[in-house]
Amino acid sequence: MKRRHFSILMITGFLTLMTALPATAEDKKDSGALTEEIYLTIPPYAVTMYHKGRPKGSMTIRASLRVVDNKKRAQAQKYMPRLSNAYLIETNRLSHDYFDVNRPVSVAALGDTLQIATNRVLGHEDAKLLISDVSINKR
C-alpha cells in the first residue's frame, strides 16, 4: 500500500514537472516570444501539521518561481530570502488554522495564498509560483 501511494506521488510529481518545463527554442520562435523562461528554485521548507490543535506531523513543500523579465528575475533572486520567509509564515498559518493532517491538503488554496505573498513581496504580479510537490508525514 505504501509503495503504491509513493509510486502515485512520484508519477504525479513527474507529470507536474514535465508540464511545468519551459518550451523549447523552436516553440518560442514559432509563437513569436523572444523572452526566455527561467524557473528560480525556492528552497524546500517544512511546517508542522496539526490535528485538533496538537502537532501530529509535518508538511514539506517544494516550489519554483517563474519570472520572464530579466530585471524582475534579478529582483526576485535578490528577494529570495524574503520570499522564503513569507512562504514559511503563510504556510505555517494555513497548517495551524486551516489544514488538518488527517485530511487532504488543498494545494489550490496553498498556491493562491503563496501567490498573494509573492505579489506582495515583489511588488508586481509578473511572477508565477509553481508548486511541484507537497508531501505530508504523519507521526
Q: Per residue, what are the HEC states of the chain?
A: CHHHHHHHHHHHHHHHHHHHCCCCHHHHHHHCCCCCCEEEEEEEEEEEEEECCEEEEEEEEEEEEEECCHHHHHHHHHCHHHHHHHHHHHHHHHHHHCCCCCCCCCHHHHHHHHHHHHHHHHCCCCEEEEEEEEEEEEC
Domains in the chain, number: 1
pLDDT at 4: 55
Structure pTM? 0.71
pLDDT at 28: 44
pLDDT at 79: 94
Q: What is the CATH number of the domain that holds 131?
A: 3.30.479
Residues lower than pLDDT 50 in the chain: 24-34
pLDDT at 116: 96
pLDDT at 13: 60
pLDDT at 51: 86
pLDDT at 139: 85
Domain of residue 19: give its range: 2-138
